[in-house]
A and B are shown apart, each in its own frame.
Chain A
Amino acid sequence: EPEVTQTPSHQVTQMGQEVILRCVPISNHLYFYWYRQILGQKVEFLVSFYNNEISEKSEIFDDQFSVERPDGSNFTLKIRSTKLEDSAMYFCASSYGQGVAGANVLTFGAGSRLTVL
């Protein structure tokens, strides 16, 4: 069964450093997402991406964050200058469609755990 893969599974970084989290969505999916989950808390939407541009972003997704689809397969989340509160599990997801009955089923990756020291 097709799956979304994320790397790294765990990254430890120093505060102020830049981090890039990578995702390979399912190949025929058109919509891509990043979510994060601070330990024990809710899963928060960060950003959605379609047709090589951001389609929606949350208030969490400030100038510190950026997303990119550098080639036909990867989808990356960059955090420019990490803060302690960025420590969380980051989930990538993809879907074939949006707003169409049943087409907006999200397939999630296993997540990348980011620890900022």
Chain B
Amino acid sequence: GNSVTQMEGPVTLSEEAFLTINCTYTATGYPSLFWYVQYPGEGLQLLLKATKADDKGSNKGFEATYRKETTSFHLEKGSVQVSDSAVYFCAPPGFQKLVFGTGTRLLVSP
């Protein structure tokens, strides 16, 4: 079945640092790929998505490119802010459900 491997956290950065959170996937075909984010005390919300190979999803300064050749969908941001502190989930594709792992906790200090 489809699955993802996501880097474990926590990732601790200073404000304005560059962020990369790695995610690689295995899938049948070319499904849509997603990043979700969970801010403290809240539910998950869609951060960005890409629906086909070479697509770049972007939102709130975050980007991820759907790389078919490396089966990756790494999340990047050029300059993180304290308000980006949250747990980030690379969501594996599936037809009946999305399966989330533990996510990667990002801690940004001033």
Contacts and interface: CB of A to CB of B under 8 A. Distances in A.
A98 B95 contact: yes
Contacts of B79: none
Contact of A105 (B38, B42, B46): B46
Interface residues of A, number: 24
Contact of B97 (A33, A91, A101): A33
A48 B100 contact: no
Most central of A33, A98, A102, A109 by chain B CB within 10 Å: A102
A20 interface: no
A104 interface: yes
A32 B68 CA distance: 30
B49 interface: yes
A28 to B, nearest CB: 17
Interface stretch (A37-45, A62-70, A74-82): A37-45
B73 interface: no
**How big is the B interface, by class?**
20 to 34
A106 interface: yes
B34 A105 contact: yes
A42 B100 contact: yes
A102 B49 contact: yes
Interface string B42-85: 11111001011000000000000000000000000000000000
A45 B102 CA distance: 12
Interface in B12-40: 31-32, 34, 36, 38
Interface of B: 31-32, 34, 36, 38, 42-46, 49, 51-52, 89, 95-103
15 contacts: A35-B100, A42-B100, A42-B102, A42-B103, A43-B38, A45-B99, A45-B100, A99-B95, A101-B31, A101-B51, A101-B52, A105-B34, A106-B44, A106-B98, A107-B46
